């Protein structure tokens, strides 16, 4: 296994940080020495501190080593020197960059190294335009491979004229041993319950979901919506809920370190995103044997199979979203069948061990090119 350094500059905790840390921990579990660089003062740095301290106290010390470095400056360039020093000392064979904000300082640091330089792998998780010519140049000239978490993300890269030979589609993963309905004892809610999990940002589509719940509540008055997450739109969404007279039907749970109890208690999981690279929260719900209602946008159709593991609706379409939710709440046999199919799909396509094998295969391919 090539020696690797992983970089994630995220300040807050989100799905990307869950993935980058999860991959590093999985490598460490397989006995590989792995180095992680996080943003100074970030939630990820705190999580790294917690998990590594717990591992060191256990019977088998972790092979994951980490440090925190300032990773943002004027387009990132100001903090390339600390990374250059780190790479020069560690001499990793692979540098795996997990977020776009870390690309500029990391790639500048690598470009200043002598030969042989590390192989560079970047993971791209967002279904948005790549950006200007600088970003395209970095991908084309300084990256050895780009992991796209879905075909939709890959198409965005092709649209930016990133060569197809650099692009590998490897989805984000879910630990299906952790997300297992048999491992959670929470009882089902007595009321028909809908759950949504995600950061409260515009692209997650919570505003559309609240509008849809007006229709759902008229059709099924006893319905309840649980919302897990925090973010910049939280206050606006709570105000919208009050204005629409849905305060009794909608409960905001805030950030949940463990969403499994809420998943286990719910009947239907909803992901109303306006933009989505893959939709890991939907896959977590599938692993917990829950039917999913999601937007037909980005990588979500690659996660949720319409009519098999859930129902897909046009993004931003509140009435269509409501109709799909109502259909599953009123047909428990269909909902349960979709939940079972979702669990099987999560195990077959997105389980952590399977995805890790694909990442390791990419590492070995890149190193074999000499």
Shared-domain flag, residues 205 and 345: yes
Separation CA 116–CA 121 (nearest Å) = 16
* SS3 call for 191: coil
156-173 pLDDT per residue, tens: 999 999 999 999 999 999
**What is the model's pLDDT at position 30?**
83
SS3 category, 49: helix
Look up tokens 């579990």; give the residue: 29
Query: Do residue 221 and residue 245 come from a single domain?
Result: yes
The total number of structural domains in the chain stands at: 2
CATH label of the domain that carries residue 225: 3.40.50.2000
Quick: pLDDT tens for 291-302. 999 999 999 999
Q: What is the pLDDT of residues 31-49, one digit of tens each?
A: 877 899 999 999 999 999 9
Question: Are residues 206 and 345 located together in one domain of the fold?
Answer: yes
Are 304 and 332 members of one domain?
yes
- Domain hosting residue 319, numbered range: 181-350
d(CA 216, CA 204): 19
**Residue 195 and residue 31: Cα distance in Å, rounded?**
37
Could you tell me the pLDDT band of residue 330, with boundaries at 50, 70 and 90?
very high
Give per-residue pLDDT as tens, 59-70. Answer: 444 678 999 988
Residues 260, 242, single domain; the answer is yes
Shared-domain flag, residues 138 and 192: no
Q: Are residues 80 and 156 in the same domain?
A: yes
Query: 198 and 145 in one domain?
Result: no
Q: What is the pLDDT of residues 110-124, one digit of tens each?
A: 887 877 889 999 999
Per cent of the chain over pLDDT 70 is 95
Same domain, 157 and 193: no
Q: Note the pTM of the prediction, 2 decimals.
A: 0.92
Is pLDDT above 60 for 8? yes
The whole-number pLDDT of residue 60 equals: 45
Q: Are residues 291 and 164 in the same domain?
A: no
- Pairwise CA distance, residues 316 & 280, whole Å: 20
358 lies in the same domain as 335? no
Question: Does 363 lie in the same domain as 326?
Answer: no
């Amino acid at each position: 296994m090539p020696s690797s350094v992983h970089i994630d500059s995220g300040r807050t905790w989100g799905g990307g940080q869950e993935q980058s840390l999860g991959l590093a921990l999985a490598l460490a579990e397989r006995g590989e020495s792995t180095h992680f660089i996080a943003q100074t003062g970030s939630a990820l740095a705190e999580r790294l501190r917690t998990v590594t301290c717990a591992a060191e106290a256990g019977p088998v010390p972790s092979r994951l080593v980490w440090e925190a470095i300032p990773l943002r400056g004027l387009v990132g360039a100001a903090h390339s020197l600390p990374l250059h020093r780190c790479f020069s000392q560690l001499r990793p064979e692979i540098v795996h960059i997990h977020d776009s904000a870390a690309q500029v300082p990391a790639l500048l640091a690598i470009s200043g190294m002598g030969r042989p330089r590390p192989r560079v792998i970047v993971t791209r998780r967002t279904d948005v335009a790549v950006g200007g010519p600088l970003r395209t140049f970095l991908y084309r000239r300084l990256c050895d491979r780009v992991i796209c978490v879905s075909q939709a993300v890959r198409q965005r890269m092709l649209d930016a004229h990133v060569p197809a030979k650099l692009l590998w589609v490897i989805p984000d993963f879910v630990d299906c041993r952790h997300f297992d309905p048999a491992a959670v004892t929470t009882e089902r809610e007595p009321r028909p319950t809908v759950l949504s999990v995600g950061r409260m940002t515009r692209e997650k589509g919570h505003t559309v979901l609240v509008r849809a719940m007006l229709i759902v509540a008229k059709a099924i008055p006893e319905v309840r919506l649980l919302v897990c997450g925090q973010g910049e739109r939280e206050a606006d969404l709570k105000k919208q809920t009050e204005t629409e007279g849905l305060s009794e039907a909608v409960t905001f749970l805030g950030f949940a370190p463990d969403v499994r109890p809420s998943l286990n208690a719910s009947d239907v999981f909803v992901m109303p995103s306006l933009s989505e690279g893959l939709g890991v929260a939907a896959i977590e719900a599938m692993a917990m044997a829950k039917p999913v209602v999601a937007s037909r946008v980005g990588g979500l159709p690659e996660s949720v199979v319409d009519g098999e593991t859930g129902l897909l609706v046009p993004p931003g379409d509140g009435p269509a979203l409501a109709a799909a939710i109502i259909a599953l709440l009123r047909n428990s046999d269909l909902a349960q069948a979709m939940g079972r199919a979702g669990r099987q799909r999560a195990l077959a396509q997105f389980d952590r061990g399977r995805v890790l094998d694909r990442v390791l295969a990419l590492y070995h391919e890149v190193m074999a090119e000499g």
